Amino acid sequence: MSLVRNFIEDWSRYRRSINEGGFHEYEHMWGMVIDLDKCTGCNACSVACYAENNLAVVGEEKFESGQGMHWLRVERYWDEPNIGNERVRDTQEHGGSFMPMMCQQCNSATCEPVCPVAAAYHTPDGLNAQIYNRCVGSRYCANNCPYRLRYFNFYSYYEDSWPSPLDMQLNPDITVRDKGVMEKCTFCVQRIRSAKNTAKMENREVADGDFQTACQQTCPTTAIVFGDLLDHDSEVHKLWHKFQTKLGTTKQKKDNPELRGYRLYEQLNTEPSVTYLERVRDV
């Protein structure tokens, strides 16, 4: 009988994973909403990320050869008709747009299955974790990431990135990564951890608004909203529902142009946890 029961359980799990995108076994599911209409491209989030996560400053030369260590980068795009039209190119209102890009914390991530030592794995929190001391630096994960959001330590940046008094600013809650280690945005896992720790000590669950990520905290226009998607009272859950972003699809089907939510490269079936809200144009 146990054989049949196992089979039925496996089968129902498989069916559920198809219908719900496999998100039912999480304790939490940390997600994010980024309103591109509010984003002014000020790069404050990127700076905050550098300060919070001990990111190395690599210098101009290495940055040009694509070895920048920015976990959060602000990408700039221009709409097609305006290319070459110099007069209007540099304003956001005329076809320009900014897009803060951090790790999308994919729920069926492409980086995880290729890791030969299981340093990249999925946590019960719905996070795409990277265990630094387990990483051997094969760089498969970075090559397999469609968003190009994993960064590799090609040098021992800790030697000269923080000269003597500056090393006092390093965050003790996160490792200073050595040469040969892959790293990426963690949704500020050290803040999640400490919030959960406090909640456990007080014998309660983590509530919405207990903590913020560094980028969310710094954003002057509150374009970034972070929270638990499984918590139905959280702001991020309400926003996902307001803009009808659905999990478990490869394309958001929307008739109303006011439903602006979309996820990056959904057609690749990576199931990102970050929703972007499209920029509203006057014209």
Partner 1 sequence: MEAEAETCHPRPRRSLALSLWTAMMVVALILGNALLAKPSLADEIMTPRKQVPSAFSGWLDEDVGPFPGVVAPEGTYEGKDVEQPIEFPHDLHTATNKINCLYCHTYARRSAVAGIPPTSKCMGCHSIIATDRPRIKQLTEYWDKGQSPPWKKVHDLPDYVRFTHERHLKKFLFDNPDMTVERVDEVCALCHGDVTKMTVAKKQKPLTMGFCTRCHQANGGTFDCQKCHK
What is the closest distance, in whole angstroms, from the C-beta atom of residue 161 to partner 1 in the complex?
Answer: 16
Of residues 94-133, which lie at the interface with partner 1 (CB under 8 A)? 118, 121-124, 127, 129, 131-133
Which of residues 142, 174, 207, 259 is near partner 1 by CB under 8 A? 174
What is the closest distance, in whole angstroms, from the C-beta atom of residue 202 to partner 1 in the complex?
Answer: 11
* CB closer to partner 1 out of 127 and 225: 127
Which of residues 10, 64, 233, 258 is near partner 1 by CB under 8 A? 10
Told to check if 173 binds partner 1 by CB under 8 A, we report yes
Told to check if 16 binds partner 1 by CB under 8 A, we report no
Which of residues 44, 114, 142, 176 is near partner 1 by CB under 8 A? 176
* CB closer to partner 1 out of 40 and 197: 197
* CB closer to partner 1 out of 178 and 278: 178
Q: DSSP string spanning the chain?
A: -HHHHHHHHHHHHHHHHHHHTT-TT-S--EEEEEETTT-----HHHHHHHHHTTPPP--HHHHHTT----SSEEEEEE-GGGTT-GGGTT-TTTTEEEEEE-----TT-SSSTT-TTS-EEE-TTS-EEE-GGG-----HHHHH-TT---EE--S-GGGTSS-GGGGGGS-TTS----TT-EE---SSHHHHHHHHHHHHHTTSPPPTTS---HHHHH-TT--EEEEETT-TTSHHHHHHHHTT--SS-SS---S-TT--EE-TTGGGT---SEEEEPPPP--
Region of 29-37, 94-102, 169-177, 251-259 interacting with partner 1 (CB under 8 A): 169-177
Of residues 181-220, which lie at the interface with partner 1 (CB under 8 A)? 189-190, 193, 197, 200-201
Which of residues 134, 148, 179, 241 is near partner 1 by CB under 8 A? 134
Dihedral class, residue 244 (left if φ above 0, else alpha if ψ from -120 to 50, else beta): left
Region of 4-12, 55-63, 142-150, 240-248 interacting with partner 1 (CB under 8 A): 4-12
| Interacting residues toward partner 1 by CB under 8 A | 2-4, 6-7, 10, 118, 121-124, 127, 129, 131-134, 173-176, 189-190, 193, 197, 200-201
